[in-house]
Amino acid sequence: MSTLLTEATTPVNSEAEQKARFYMHLSLPSSRAAHAATPIPSPIPIPIPIPILLGSRFLIWKQDPSVTDPGIRLTFIPTLVLDGPQDSRVTTNLAATTPVHASTNRDFIFTPGTPEFDCAHSFAIVRETLTMYQRIRGGAPLPWAWNTGGNIDPISVFPRAGVTPNAFYSRADKALKFFFFTPSGASLPVFTCRSLDIVAHETGHSVLDGLKPGWLGGANPPQTGGLHESFGDLTAIFLALSQLDQVESALAQTKANLHDKNFLASLAEQFGVALGFPQGLRNADNDLKLSQVGNEVHAISQVFTGGIYDVLADIFAFEKNRQSATKDPARVLLEVASQLCSVLVDALIAAPATGATYADVVNQMLNISNTRGEPVIYRTFLRNRFTLREVVVSPTPLNAMLEGRINLNDPGFVEGKDLLKLDAHRHPSDKAPQDRSDCCGTMQRLEYLIDDQAKLQAGGSASHDDLLSSQTAELRRAFK
């Protein structure tokens, strides 16, 4: 009997020892080998995964209540969310409602239309936007504008901040405020917090303000303001394109042609319809050129948004073709969008701290694309699209593009040279003051009308005294 036992156990231990030596040789954690060395219990227990301790489910509109496909879906936020909802970066504030309590499963699933739903929805979109940008920057926390010198204050989200057809990000209030209104002739109000596009847009302002605190100031040239507005719209597009269900839905809607009408390019659909714009508040798939928009920041922003959207569609067409045998188009679009978003954010960060122009950002994108080893044809797309929009000047004509001769089978396709720096296309309105009259609430905040660039870049904002300084100086002279 004892002999049999010995014979039965010796090979097992011997094999375990071999494994242990093997893992030691590889310098890998040898916990498995150590376990294997212990007697195997009988019967062998079913392996139970480590319980998931964090993460909550939220019910959200994937676009807004007027967009029935992809409609309303559950989304999973894999980090710890406390009652509020809140975490260390984002809090929610709605009188008589917050803190909203999670279910016993730590989920925030509420009936659409209720105040609790609006709090959960707004929190989820803000959180997902911040997480998206942190992921493409390697996972490090991205600061809000006031997170300097050890300040870790979160941003406060107000889903129902009051009655007006608008929404804004306020650095001074450390807040995102979403308003609601009843369109003329309608019986029910429109809540801006229920739009993924609007919540993502305003969160985009707050993320960019943390990265480039000198850009919101009203003394910047029109294109710098345009970059802020455009980043808001592009944030909504990139957030949608970071979600598998939205990507699949958009591709099915367009048969994988991003220039076909789709919910990605149409921004803030319900809000736009309420204000009389049946295609949504803005259309990223536009053909605007800088010479057509003057110094009106909202219109200027559409030139940059449209250029990036065109480049996205071009790169997707190229990669869809190149990877058709190995990947589903949805996976290709998810990856292409993430890479383009990453190049854009790095380019924005590398652009000048104040007064940045579209050409500054495009040239940074060309450089970053080259440094990352992206195919030359990516930079051909960038050059072509932003030349057509009169942002940069191409030293070689765009004949291949205009004649439909770009070879999508050639990653190295370029007309002329693969240049990494292009001249800016100059316009008389480049130096004009910004006209922010048609912008979202953020760009119309008085707090950014500040001449003190050092204060602006340090995360400060205009106080009442700053705003009234010329009036008070005049009064002091008058009342001597």
Q: Which residues bind Zn ion (CB under 5 A)?
A: 229, 232, 440, 442
Closer to Zn ion by CB, 159 or 232: give it: 232
Closer to Zn ion by CB, 339 or 442: give it: 442
Closer to Zn ion by CB, 229 or 296: give it: 229
Place of tokens 């250029």: 307
- Closest approach of Cβ 233 to Zn ion, in Å? 8
What is the distance between the alpha carbons of residues 238 and 264, in angstroms, rounded to a whole number? 9
Please, which residues have CB within 8 angstroms of residue 413's CB and are 6 or more apart in sequence? Answer: 376, 377, 380, 400, 406, 407
- Closest approach of Cβ 220 to Zn ion, in Å? 15
- Closest approach of Cβ 159 to Zn ion, in Å? 18
Closer to Zn ion by CB, 155 or 330: give it: 155
Closer to Zn ion by CB, 124 or 440: give it: 440
Closer to Zn ion by CB, 446 or 468: give it: 446
Closest-CB residue for Zn ion? 440
- Closest approach of Cβ 282 to Zn ion, in Å? 10
Report which secondary-structure segment, H or E, holds 189. none
Give DSSP secondary structure letters for 121-166: HHHHHHHHHHHHHHHHTTSPPPPPTT--TT----EEEETT--BSS-
- Closest approach of Cβ 118 to Zn ion, in Å? 20
Distances (CA, A) of 255 to 24, 182, 251, 323, 329: 52, 36, 5, 17, 10
Torsion angle defined by CA atoms of residues 167, 170, 173 and 176, in that order, rounded to the nearest 10 degrees:
40
Closer to Zn ion by CB, 108 or 304: give it: 304
- Closest approach of Cβ 167 to Zn ion, in Å? 8
Place of tokens 């259309």: 283
What is the distance between the alpha carbons of residues 434 and 421, in angstroms, rounded to a whole number? 26
- Closest approach of Cβ 441 to Zn ion, in Å? 7
- Closest approach of Cβ 207 to Zn ion, in Å? 12
- Say how many C-beta atoms besides its own lie within 10 A of residue 479's C-beta: 6
What is the distance between the alpha carbons of residues 194 and 239, in angstroms, rounded to a whole number? 15
Q: Are 232 and 205 in contact (CB under 8 A)?
A: yes
What is the distance between the alpha carbons of residues 194 and 365, in angstroms, rounded to a whole number? 33
- Amino acid (1-letter code) at residue 4: L
Q: Are 235 and 204 in contact (CB under 8 A)?
A: yes
Closer to Zn ion by CB, 246 or 442: give it: 442
Beta bridge partners of 180: 163, 191
Closer to Zn ion by CB, 228 or 425: give it: 228
- Closest approach of Cβ 228 to Zn ion, in Å? 7
